[in-house]
Amino acid sequence: MSTNEKSAIKPPLWVLLELTHKCPLECTYCYNQLDFANTKDGMSKEDWFKVLDETRALGAVQLGISGGEPLLNKDIVEIVRYANDLKFYTNLITSGVGGEKGVLKKLKEAGLKTVQLGIQSHDENTMTLITNNKSAMKDKIAFAKEVKELGMQLIVNTCITRQNIEQVGEIIEFCDELGANYLEIANIQYYGWALENVDALLPSKEQLDKAMEVTNFYREKRKDMKVFFVVPDYYENRPKACMNGWGTTFLTINPDGLALPCNTANTLPIEFPNVKESSVKEIWYESKAFNFFRGDEWMNPTCRSCPEKEKDFGGCRCQAYALTKDMHEADPVCDKSAYHGVVKKIVENANKSDKLPIYRNKQNSLKFIENKTCCS
Ligand code: FES
Protein backbone atom coordinates (compact mmCIF):
# COMPACT_ATOMS: atom_id res chain seq x y z
CA MET A 1 0.00 0.00 0.00
CA SER A 2 1.19 3.51 -0.78
CA THR A 3 1.49 6.09 2.06
CA ASN A 4 -1.48 7.95 0.57
CA GLU A 5 -3.60 4.81 0.61
CA LYS A 6 -2.55 4.18 4.23
CA SER A 7 -3.57 7.65 5.36
CA ALA A 8 -6.95 7.17 3.61
CA ILE A 9 -7.92 4.24 5.86
CA LYS A 10 -11.16 5.12 7.59
CA PRO A 11 -12.04 3.83 11.07
CA PRO A 12 -14.36 0.83 11.44
CA LEU A 13 -18.05 1.79 11.54
CA TRP A 14 -19.53 -1.60 12.26
CA VAL A 15 -18.27 -3.81 15.05
CA LEU A 16 -19.54 -7.32 15.59
CA LEU A 17 -18.90 -9.11 18.88
CA GLU A 18 -19.23 -12.88 18.60
CA LEU A 19 -19.75 -13.55 22.30
CA THR A 20 -19.58 -17.35 21.96
CA HIS A 21 -19.73 -20.00 19.26
CA LYS A 22 -21.91 -22.23 21.43
CA CYS A 23 -25.46 -22.53 20.12
CA PRO A 24 -28.54 -24.58 21.06
CA LEU A 25 -29.42 -24.86 17.36
CA GLU A 26 -27.54 -26.89 14.76
CA CYS A 27 -28.48 -25.05 11.57
CA THR A 28 -27.20 -26.71 8.44
CA TYR A 29 -26.44 -23.37 6.76
CA CYS A 30 -24.38 -21.79 9.57
CA TYR A 31 -21.47 -19.72 8.26
CA ASN A 32 -19.29 -20.49 11.30
CA GLN A 33 -16.17 -22.35 10.24
CA LEU A 34 -16.29 -26.15 10.33
CA ASP A 35 -13.67 -26.34 13.08
CA PHE A 36 -15.54 -23.98 15.41
CA ALA A 37 -15.04 -26.51 18.24
CA ASN A 38 -11.44 -25.24 18.27
CA THR A 39 -12.58 -21.71 19.18
CA LYS A 40 -12.60 -21.16 22.93
CA ASP A 41 -14.64 -18.60 24.85
CA GLY A 42 -11.45 -16.85 25.85
CA MET A 43 -12.72 -13.30 26.47
CA SER A 44 -13.59 -12.06 29.96
CA LYS A 45 -16.12 -9.26 30.30
CA GLU A 46 -13.21 -6.87 30.98
CA ASP A 47 -11.67 -7.94 27.65
CA TRP A 48 -14.96 -7.11 25.90
CA PHE A 49 -15.10 -3.74 27.72
CA LYS A 50 -11.59 -2.96 26.45
CA VAL A 51 -12.71 -3.72 22.87
CA LEU A 52 -15.73 -1.43 23.32
CA ASP A 53 -13.59 1.42 24.71
CA GLU A 54 -11.05 1.10 21.92
CA THR A 55 -13.48 0.74 19.01
CA ARG A 56 -15.64 3.63 20.21
CA ALA A 57 -12.52 5.80 20.57
CA LEU A 58 -11.75 5.03 16.92
CA GLY A 59 -15.23 6.23 15.89
CA ALA A 60 -17.28 3.01 15.59
CA VAL A 61 -21.01 3.53 16.25
CA GLN A 62 -22.90 0.38 15.23
CA LEU A 63 -22.52 -2.66 17.43
CA GLY A 64 -23.79 -6.13 16.57
CA ILE A 65 -23.91 -8.72 19.37
CA SER A 66 -23.85 -12.15 17.87
CA GLY A 67 -22.46 -15.71 18.11
CA GLY A 68 -23.17 -18.71 18.10
CA GLU A 69 -25.98 -17.72 20.38
CA PRO A 70 -24.94 -14.56 22.27
CA LEU A 71 -27.60 -15.08 24.98
CA LEU A 72 -25.47 -17.98 26.24
CA ASN A 73 -22.78 -15.56 27.37
CA LYS A 74 -23.52 -14.82 31.04
CA ASP A 75 -22.01 -11.33 30.78
CA ILE A 76 -24.23 -10.16 27.92
CA VAL A 77 -26.31 -7.70 29.97
CA GLU A 78 -23.23 -5.99 31.38
CA ILE A 79 -21.61 -5.85 27.94
CA VAL A 80 -24.71 -4.22 26.43
CA ARG A 81 -24.92 -1.73 29.32
CA TYR A 82 -21.26 -0.82 28.87
CA ALA A 83 -21.78 -0.34 25.14
CA ASN A 84 -24.88 1.75 25.70
CA ASP A 85 -23.02 4.01 28.15
CA LEU A 86 -20.44 4.56 25.41
CA LYS A 87 -23.32 5.52 23.07
CA PHE A 88 -23.07 2.58 20.71
CA TYR A 89 -26.21 1.71 18.74
CA THR A 90 -26.67 -1.91 19.84
CA ASN A 91 -28.31 -4.71 17.86
CA LEU A 92 -28.77 -8.23 19.24
CA ILE A 93 -28.55 -10.95 16.57
CA THR A 94 -30.15 -14.02 18.12
CA SER A 95 -31.91 -17.32 17.54
CA GLY A 96 -34.21 -16.47 20.46
CA VAL A 97 -33.38 -19.85 22.00
CA GLY A 98 -31.41 -20.67 25.13
CA GLY A 99 -31.41 -17.35 27.00
CA GLU A 100 -32.19 -17.10 30.72
CA LYS A 101 -35.76 -16.16 31.64
CA GLY A 102 -36.17 -12.38 31.74
CA VAL A 103 -32.90 -11.64 29.95
CA LEU A 104 -34.54 -9.62 27.19
CA LYS A 105 -36.12 -7.20 29.68
CA LYS A 106 -32.73 -6.78 31.35
CA LEU A 107 -31.13 -6.13 27.97
CA LYS A 108 -33.69 -3.48 27.16
CA GLU A 109 -33.10 -1.80 30.52
CA ALA A 110 -29.37 -1.96 29.77
CA GLY A 111 -30.01 0.05 26.60
CA LEU A 112 -30.36 -2.54 23.82
CA LYS A 113 -31.86 -0.83 20.76
CA THR A 114 -32.92 -3.52 18.28
CA VAL A 115 -33.38 -7.27 18.08
CA GLN A 116 -32.74 -9.32 14.96
CA LEU A 117 -34.37 -12.70 15.38
CA GLY A 118 -33.78 -15.69 13.10
CA ILE A 119 -36.99 -17.42 12.04
CA GLN A 120 -36.53 -20.16 9.49
CA SER A 121 -40.13 -21.18 8.89
CA HIS A 122 -43.78 -20.75 9.85
CA ASP A 123 -44.02 -24.53 10.08
CA GLU A 124 -42.80 -26.48 13.11
CA ASN A 125 -41.57 -29.54 11.19
CA THR A 126 -39.49 -27.44 8.81
CA MET A 127 -38.10 -25.47 11.74
CA THR A 128 -37.02 -28.68 13.46
CA LEU A 129 -35.60 -30.09 10.23
CA ILE A 130 -33.40 -27.02 9.73
CA THR A 131 -32.34 -26.40 13.34
CA ASN A 132 -32.38 -29.94 14.78
CA ASN A 133 -34.05 -28.48 17.88
CA LYS A 134 -37.58 -29.54 18.71
CA SER A 135 -38.44 -26.58 20.94
CA ALA A 136 -37.04 -23.95 18.54
CA MET A 137 -40.45 -22.97 17.12
CA LYS A 138 -42.12 -22.51 20.49
CA ASP A 139 -39.14 -20.61 21.94
CA LYS A 140 -38.86 -18.29 18.96
CA ILE A 141 -42.53 -17.37 18.99
CA ALA A 142 -42.34 -16.63 22.73
CA PHE A 143 -39.21 -14.53 22.16
CA ALA A 144 -40.78 -12.52 19.31
CA LYS A 145 -43.84 -11.81 21.48
CA GLU A 146 -41.64 -10.61 24.31
CA VAL A 147 -39.79 -8.23 21.97
CA LYS A 148 -43.09 -6.67 20.93
CA GLU A 149 -44.47 -6.54 24.48
CA LEU A 150 -41.37 -4.64 25.53
CA GLY A 151 -42.07 -2.14 22.75
CA MET A 152 -38.88 -2.90 20.83
CA GLN A 153 -38.35 -3.04 17.07
CA LEU A 154 -38.37 -6.58 15.70
CA ILE A 155 -36.21 -7.39 12.72
CA VAL A 156 -36.69 -10.92 11.43
CA ASN A 157 -34.07 -12.63 9.36
CA THR A 158 -35.14 -15.72 7.44
CA CYS A 159 -32.27 -17.71 5.97
CA ILE A 160 -33.48 -19.33 2.79
CA THR A 161 -32.42 -22.75 1.52
CA ARG A 162 -34.03 -25.47 -0.58
CA GLN A 163 -35.82 -26.65 2.59
CA ASN A 164 -37.93 -23.49 3.03
CA ILE A 165 -37.81 -21.52 -0.23
CA GLU A 166 -41.25 -22.67 -1.27
CA GLN A 167 -42.71 -21.33 2.00
CA VAL A 168 -41.74 -17.71 1.41
CA GLY A 169 -45.35 -16.46 1.19
CA GLU A 170 -46.41 -18.22 4.40
CA ILE A 171 -43.26 -17.04 6.19
CA ILE A 172 -44.01 -13.41 5.25
CA GLU A 173 -47.58 -13.74 6.57
CA PHE A 174 -46.34 -15.41 9.75
CA CYS A 175 -43.76 -12.67 10.45
CA ASP A 176 -46.39 -10.02 9.79
CA GLU A 177 -48.62 -11.63 12.42
CA LEU A 178 -45.69 -11.64 14.85
CA GLY A 179 -45.44 -7.88 14.36
CA ALA A 180 -42.07 -7.77 12.59
CA ASN A 181 -41.05 -4.26 11.53
CA TYR A 182 -38.50 -5.53 9.00
CA LEU A 183 -38.13 -8.90 7.35
CA GLU A 184 -35.02 -9.97 5.51
CA ILE A 185 -35.54 -12.98 3.27
CA ALA A 186 -31.89 -13.85 2.92
CA ASN A 187 -30.84 -16.57 0.54
CA ILE A 188 -27.83 -17.95 2.35
CA GLN A 189 -24.27 -17.38 1.22
CA TYR A 190 -22.17 -20.52 1.03
CA TYR A 191 -19.48 -20.46 3.74
CA GLY A 192 -18.55 -22.86 6.54
CA TRP A 193 -21.29 -25.43 7.17
CA ALA A 194 -23.37 -24.04 4.32
CA LEU A 195 -20.60 -24.73 1.81
CA GLU A 196 -20.13 -28.22 3.20
CA ASN A 197 -23.88 -28.76 2.72
CA VAL A 198 -24.29 -26.89 -0.56
CA ASP A 199 -25.58 -29.94 -2.48
CA ALA A 200 -28.44 -30.25 -0.01
CA LEU A 201 -29.20 -26.55 0.43
CA LEU A 202 -28.93 -24.64 -2.85
CA PRO A 203 -32.34 -23.96 -4.41
CA SER A 204 -32.85 -24.10 -8.17
CA LYS A 205 -33.07 -20.96 -10.32
CA GLU A 206 -36.77 -21.67 -10.85
CA GLN A 207 -37.39 -21.82 -7.09
CA LEU A 208 -35.47 -18.60 -6.64
CA ASP A 209 -37.41 -16.73 -9.35
CA LYS A 210 -40.71 -17.92 -7.88
CA ALA A 211 -39.68 -16.83 -4.36
CA MET A 212 -38.79 -13.36 -5.69
CA GLU A 213 -42.13 -13.10 -7.43
CA VAL A 214 -44.00 -14.08 -4.24
CA THR A 215 -41.95 -11.61 -2.20
CA ASN A 216 -42.75 -8.78 -4.61
CA PHE A 217 -46.44 -9.64 -4.42
CA TYR A 218 -46.42 -9.40 -0.60
CA ARG A 219 -44.27 -6.27 -0.61
CA GLU A 220 -47.10 -4.45 -2.33
CA LYS A 221 -49.65 -5.75 0.18
CA ARG A 222 -47.67 -5.26 3.41
CA LYS A 223 -46.53 -1.67 3.36
CA ASP A 224 -46.10 -1.51 7.16
CA MET A 225 -43.52 -4.33 7.25
CA LYS A 226 -40.45 -3.69 5.10
CA VAL A 227 -39.40 -6.82 3.23
CA PHE A 228 -35.93 -7.27 1.75
CA PHE A 229 -34.80 -10.10 -0.51
CA VAL A 230 -31.16 -11.17 -0.77
CA VAL A 231 -30.20 -13.27 -3.82
CA PRO A 232 -27.59 -16.07 -3.47
CA ASP A 233 -24.50 -14.91 -5.31
CA TYR A 234 -23.99 -18.30 -7.01
CA TYR A 235 -26.70 -17.19 -9.47
CA GLU A 236 -24.99 -13.86 -10.20
CA ASN A 237 -22.31 -12.97 -12.76
CA ARG A 238 -20.59 -10.31 -10.69
CA PRO A 239 -19.34 -10.72 -7.11
CA LYS A 240 -20.69 -8.87 -4.12
CA ALA A 241 -18.65 -6.07 -2.54
CA CYS A 242 -18.02 -8.30 0.44
CA MET A 243 -17.84 -6.40 3.74
CA ASN A 244 -17.79 -3.23 1.63
CA GLY A 245 -14.12 -4.05 0.99
CA TRP A 246 -11.61 -5.74 3.29
CA GLY A 247 -10.71 -3.63 6.34
CA THR A 248 -12.80 -0.62 5.31
CA THR A 249 -15.93 -0.79 7.45
CA PHE A 250 -16.37 -4.01 9.43
CA LEU A 251 -14.53 -5.43 12.37
CA THR A 252 -15.46 -8.76 13.96
CA ILE A 253 -14.07 -10.01 17.25
CA ASN A 254 -14.46 -13.75 17.73
CA PRO A 255 -14.99 -15.52 21.10
CA ASP A 256 -11.27 -16.14 21.41
CA GLY A 257 -10.40 -12.47 20.90
CA LEU A 258 -9.23 -12.73 17.30
CA ALA A 259 -9.84 -9.54 15.33
CA LEU A 260 -11.17 -10.32 11.85
CA PRO A 261 -12.25 -8.20 8.85
CA CYS A 262 -15.21 -10.58 8.36
CA ASN A 263 -16.76 -13.47 10.30
CA THR A 264 -15.02 -16.20 8.34
CA ALA A 265 -11.63 -14.60 7.67
CA ASN A 266 -9.87 -17.06 9.96
CA THR A 267 -10.52 -19.77 7.36
CA LEU A 268 -7.80 -17.98 5.31
CA PRO A 269 -4.09 -18.80 5.65
CA ILE A 270 -3.38 -15.50 7.41
CA GLU A 271 -2.37 -14.99 11.01
CA PHE A 272 -4.90 -12.70 12.69
CA PRO A 273 -4.09 -10.49 15.69
CA ASN A 274 -5.79 -10.88 19.07
CA VAL A 275 -7.33 -7.97 20.98
CA LYS A 276 -5.86 -9.36 24.20
CA GLU A 277 -2.37 -8.77 22.82
CA SER A 278 -2.69 -5.56 20.78
CA SER A 279 -4.86 -2.46 20.78
CA VAL A 280 -7.70 -2.29 18.26
CA LYS A 281 -6.08 0.86 16.83
CA GLU A 282 -2.83 -0.97 16.08
CA ILE A 283 -4.74 -3.93 14.66
CA TRP A 284 -6.99 -1.86 12.41
CA TYR A 285 -4.35 0.50 11.00
CA GLU A 286 -1.05 -1.35 11.27
CA SER A 287 -1.54 -5.11 11.31
CA LYS A 288 -0.43 -7.13 8.31
CA ALA A 289 -3.72 -9.04 8.36
CA PHE A 290 -5.95 -5.98 8.05
CA ASN A 291 -3.73 -4.45 5.36
CA PHE A 292 -3.55 -7.68 3.35
CA PHE A 293 -6.33 -6.87 0.88
CA ARG A 294 -6.59 -3.10 1.15
CA GLY A 295 -6.01 -1.16 -2.07
CA ASP A 296 -5.51 -3.09 -5.33
CA GLU A 297 -1.85 -4.15 -5.31
CA TRP A 298 -2.80 -7.64 -4.13
CA MET A 299 -5.20 -8.22 -7.04
CA ASN A 300 -4.47 -10.47 -9.97
CA PRO A 301 -4.24 -8.72 -13.38
CA THR A 302 -7.89 -9.51 -14.28
CA CYS A 303 -9.24 -7.71 -11.23
CA ARG A 304 -6.66 -4.92 -11.23
CA SER A 305 -7.53 -3.93 -14.79
CA CYS A 306 -11.29 -4.30 -14.30
CA PRO A 307 -13.32 -1.06 -14.34
CA GLU A 308 -15.66 -2.58 -11.71
CA LYS A 309 -12.91 -3.07 -9.10
CA GLU A 310 -14.00 0.12 -7.29
CA LYS A 311 -17.46 -1.37 -6.92
CA ASP A 312 -16.80 -4.98 -5.92
CA PHE A 313 -13.13 -4.89 -4.76
CA GLY A 314 -12.51 -8.26 -6.47
CA GLY A 315 -15.34 -9.88 -4.49
CA CYS A 316 -15.11 -12.04 -1.41
CA ARG A 317 -11.67 -13.24 -0.26
CA CYS A 318 -13.10 -16.11 1.79
CA GLN A 319 -15.11 -17.37 -1.16
CA ALA A 320 -12.13 -17.04 -3.52
CA TYR A 321 -10.02 -19.13 -1.14
CA ALA A 322 -12.72 -21.70 -0.40
CA LEU A 323 -13.34 -22.36 -4.10
CA THR A 324 -9.90 -21.91 -5.67
CA LYS A 325 -7.44 -22.39 -2.77
CA ASP A 326 -5.85 -19.06 -3.77
CA MET A 327 -7.06 -16.13 -1.70
CA HIS A 328 -5.67 -13.62 -4.25
CA GLU A 329 -7.87 -14.95 -7.04
CA ALA A 330 -10.94 -13.10 -8.29
CA ASP A 331 -14.10 -14.26 -6.56
CA PRO A 332 -15.21 -17.14 -8.86
CA VAL A 333 -18.76 -15.83 -8.88
CA CYS A 334 -17.43 -13.29 -11.41
CA ASP A 335 -17.76 -14.56 -14.97
CA LYS A 336 -14.39 -12.94 -15.81
CA SER A 337 -12.70 -15.29 -13.33
CA ALA A 338 -10.77 -18.24 -14.72
CA TYR A 339 -12.55 -20.29 -12.02
CA HIS A 340 -16.12 -19.25 -12.80
CA GLY A 341 -16.70 -22.82 -14.03
CA VAL A 342 -16.24 -24.03 -10.42
CA VAL A 343 -19.35 -22.11 -9.35
CA LYS A 344 -21.28 -23.34 -12.38
CA LYS A 345 -20.31 -26.92 -11.55
CA ILE A 346 -21.42 -26.53 -7.91
CA VAL A 347 -24.79 -25.21 -9.07
CA GLU A 348 -25.15 -28.01 -11.61
CA ASN A 349 -24.29 -30.71 -9.05
CA ALA A 350 -26.52 -29.24 -6.35
CA ASN A 351 -29.46 -29.01 -8.73
CA LYS A 352 -29.40 -32.74 -9.29
CA SER A 353 -28.42 -33.83 -5.78
CA ASP A 354 -30.70 -35.37 -3.18
CA LYS A 355 -28.04 -35.42 -0.43
CA LEU A 356 -29.05 -34.72 3.17
CA PRO A 357 -27.26 -31.94 5.04
CA ILE A 358 -25.14 -32.52 8.14
CA TYR A 359 -25.89 -30.53 11.27
CA ARG A 360 -23.60 -27.87 12.71
CA ASN A 361 -22.67 -29.32 16.09
CA LYS A 362 -19.65 -30.06 18.21
CA GLN A 363 -19.39 -33.75 17.27
CA ASN A 364 -19.39 -32.99 13.54
CA SER A 365 -16.91 -30.17 14.13
CA LEU A 366 -14.58 -32.50 16.04
CA LYS A 367 -14.85 -35.09 13.27
CA PHE A 368 -13.86 -32.42 10.78
CA ILE A 369 -10.87 -31.38 12.91
CA GLU A 370 -9.78 -35.02 13.26
CA ASN A 371 -10.01 -35.73 9.51
CA LYS A 372 -8.18 -32.53 8.67
CA THR A 373 -5.34 -33.41 11.03
CA CYS A 374 -5.01 -36.97 9.86
CA CYS A 375 -5.14 -36.13 6.15
CA SER A 376 -3.12 -32.91 5.93
FE1 FES B 1 -14.57 -12.97 4.29
FE2 FES B 1 -16.10 -12.15 2.21
S3 FES B 1 -16.68 -13.39 3.93
S4 FES B 1 -14.07 -11.51 2.73
Q: In CATH, what number is assigned to the domain containing residue 242? A: 3.20.20.70
Q: Is the confidence metric ipTM above 0.90 for this complex?
A: no
* pLDDT confidence band for 375 (50 / 70 / 90): very low
Farthest CA pair distance, the chain:
57
Q: Are 144 and 96 in contact (CB under 8 A)?
A: yes
Q: Has this prediction a pTM greater than 0.90?
A: yes
Asked whether residue 313 is assigned to any structural domain, the reply reads yes
pLDDT digits (tens, 9 = 90+) for 176-197: 999 999 999 999 999 999 999 9
Helix axes 124-131, 136-149, angle to 10 degrees: 110
CA distance 214 to 158: 15
Asked whether residue 2 is assigned to any structural domain, the reply reads no
**pLDDT value at position 231?**
87
Tell me which residues have their CB closer than 6 angstroms to ligand 1: 242-243, 262, 264-265, 316-318
Question: Is 306 labelled as part of a ligand binding site?
Answer: no
Asked whether residue 1 is assigned to any structural domain, the reply reads no
CA distance 355 to 159: 19
Ligand 1 atom closest to Cα of residue 189: 3
Q: Is the pLDDT of residue 220 over 90?
A: no
DSSP category for residue 258:
B
Q: In degrees rounded to 5, what are phi and psi of residue 241? A: -80, 80
Q: Among 233, 262, 293, 313, which residue has the most ligand 1 atoms within 8 Å of its CB, making it the best to mutate? A: 262
Q: Among 190, 303, 317, which residue has the most ligand 1 atoms within 8 Å of its CB, making it the best to mutate? A: 317
Q: Ligand 1 centre from 319 Cα, in Å?
A: 7
**For the chain, what is the domain count?**
1
CA distance 238 to 314: 9
Asked whether residue 25 is assigned to any structural domain, the reply reads yes
Mean pLDDT, to the nearest integer, of 246-267?
96
Q: In degrees rounded to 5, what are phi and psi of residue 31? A: -85, -10
Q: Are 239 and 314 in contact (CB under 8 A)?
A: yes
Tell me if the bond preceding 68 is cis, omega within 30° of 0: yes
Q: Is the pLDDT of residue 334 over 80?
A: yes
Asked whether residue 204 is assigned to any structural domain, the reply reads yes
Domain, as residue range, for 97: 11-375
pLDDT digits (tens, 9 = 90+) for 119-142: 999 999 999 999 999 999 999 999
Give the residue with greater pLDDT, 4 vs 371: 371
